[in-house]
Homo-oligomer: A and B are copies of this chain.
Amino acid sequence: MYSFVDLSLKFEEHFNKRQFPETPENLYDAAQYILQLGGKRVRPVAVLMANELFSDLHQDAFHIASAIELFHNFSLIHDDIMDKAPLRRGMGTVHSKYGESTALLAGDVMLVVAYEHINKMSSDKLHEVMSLFNKTAKEVCEGQQMDMDFEQKENVAFDVYLQMITLKTSVLLAASLQLGAIVGGAGIGNQEHLYEFGKNLGIAFQIQDDYLDAFGDPKKFGKQVGGDIIANKKTFLLIHAMDVANDAQKNELQALLKDNSPDKVQKVLELFSDCKVADWANELKEQYFKKAMASLEAINVLSNRKSELEKLARFLLDRES
């Protein structure tokens, strides 16, 4: 069994080359640019880990892992255009460097190249893989649309918010794991357990993300603490605060959302504190982590084979940045 780090290195060896033709230069340089910004490559490595849970690493897992990483970056390029984001991983976004039209097109061609990687599969599971990949790709688009729709709304119900987060961020990790399981020859039951593991881990990860943005240690966080509050972003924390706040608190919170005073972050954090949002978030995260662990537990392979996935889960949730 390889560790997460071993498999990361193996994936980089496979992926760390130009993924696109040389010309038209503008188009393909823009596409290659975002891949070189790095990232933890959690999703593609998850494909490899899931394959290895059931059988020796298959070359097809590397093709699918590449497709997943390209899909993820396609969605980042297009999301950044929609969000008018200037920075990604501390560097200029693709559209801020190459212009919106080229960025749009670079995302498009990256999605097509993702399908080229899938089509390199040698096994007879192409239909099955395409089916899950397509379903997931649609869901990620749906999640992004829901997120944009929420910007226009004052209140979003917790359940609906959870559905958006699941689609926008969790299903891709879940699908990465299931795709690896398919290549590894897992049966449908084990595939589903892995999918649920990934889905719930993804939700827990997002709760942690929202938590750190509000309550993280500024020395360790690496980004501006309170960024979500300044941007009026709907988060697990805000949704819950609106749910439990009394009328006076609700009014204050809504006034703060329309306001951009210098002490906005501090005032929102005080309200979060009054509403015990931090404890609630930690408890909710723990709940999803436990669900994830129960699904991992249920997978029918020797438990020592699962230790790397468990380590990955703990690493993703214990981080402080």
Contacts and interface: CB of A to CB of B under 8 A. Distances in A.
Nearest to A121: B127
A112 B127 contact: no
Contacts of A24: 142, 145-146, 149
Given A102-B148, A148-B102, A112 B141 contact: yes
Given A115-B115, A127-B126, A134-B119, A108 B141 contact: yes
B104 A119 contact: no
Interface string A15-49: 00000000110110000000000000000000000
Interface residues of A, number: 36
A304 interface: no
Copies of this protein in the assembly total 2
A101 B78 CA distance: 9
A173 interface: no
Interface in A135-150: 137-138, 141-142, 144-146, 148-149
Interface of A: 23-24, 26-27, 78, 81-82, 100-102, 104-105, 107-109, 111-113, 115-116, 118-119, 126-127, 130-131, 134, 137-138, 141-142, 144-146, 148-149
Contacts of A81: 101, 104
Nearest to A107: B108
B111 A108 contact: yes
Nearest to A75: B108
